[in-house]
Amino acid sequence: MSYLHSRHFSLEEANTLLDKYKPELEVMVELKKKLDMKGYDVYNHKYFGGGGPNGTGPFPPEMEKLIDIIKRVSAEGILLKGLDNSLVDFPHIRNNGEEVYLCWKHGEREILYWHQIADGFAGRRNINEL
């Protein structure tokens, strides 16, 4: 069977990694808020309504910290889906062989949901239905 991702996590592995990176994911939410308040568009790497630092100077320090967190988390195989709410997915293989995502967002104590890849966040189901 061909899968979209080369690395997959059991629920236990995903929750262990989540515990390891949860503090950084919480910092990520705060950094994004600070950048928003400064009028910085993290997706386009520039200030809203004006010139950006690309070619004219360094990123804001909050952006540098945000990039570091994104690199560390992504290197583990964790998929960052949202910066505002630290939405992350962990590729997982169900018992029936289907590749799905174990899903977590800021404020949840552990991974409580999963969804089919095509369904995205809107299709989240209780982990008991996995």
Confidence of residue 1 (pLDDT cuts 50, 70, 90): confident
pLDDT tens across 18-66, in order?
A: 999 999 999 999 999 999 998 888 887 777 655 555 545 567 889 889 9
Confidence of residue 123 (pLDDT cuts 50, 70, 90): very high
The pLDDT assigned to 60 comes to: 83
Q: Is the pLDDT of residue 83 over 50?
A: yes
Closest CA to 90 of 32, 17, 2, 1: 17
* Mean pLDDT, rounded, for 73-95: 95
Check if the beta carbon of residue 116 is closer than 8 Å to that of residue 100: yes
The pLDDT assigned to 48 comes to: 62
SS3 8: coil
The pLDDT assigned to 55 comes to: 47
